[in-house]
Structure 1
């Protein structure tokens, strides 16, 4: 009997200076700060929140959570 492998979830938290606070177009993609890759959304959200709060006074700084598992397996 084959055991079905569960899908791995991965979340990337990254941020940097954006051209417009309403967008996610980064001014200098090479200088994006990668906070880390997390296996749970809760951990990713905690990292995102910490970095976003640290830069709250700078409207041009933005942190985001990227669902890497959706990019790696778009059919899932």
Structure 2
């Protein structure tokens, strides 16, 4: 909770793209990355991630990720 009693935003980025190989994390084309969105909590980011991952299940090279942006913005925070 914040000082005003609001739930603290724990921002999460959902993005994906086609990988060069199944063994690595190098994207085939950075200009073609799919930025799904930024979400206020992990639960809503997970819903978005699942939706995009299910849409691309037939392409083994397509991967989507959840980035914990709040950890990058405030690395000293101990939250999830």
Q: So what's the TM-score if we normalise by structure 2? A: 0.80
* Structure 1 unmatched ranges of 5 or more: none
Q: Which 4+ stretches in 1 moved above 4 angstroms?
A: 4-7
Give secondary structure in 2 for the equivalent of 1:24. coil
Give secondary structure in 2 for the equivalent of 1:9. coil
* Structure 2 unmatched ranges of 5 or more: none
Number of matched pairs? 74
Query: What is the aligned partner in structure 1 of residue 66 from structure 2?
Result: 65
Give secondary structure in 1 for the equivalent of 2:53. helix
CA RMSD of aligned residues (A): 1.8
Q: So what's the TM-score if we normalise by structure 1? A: 0.84
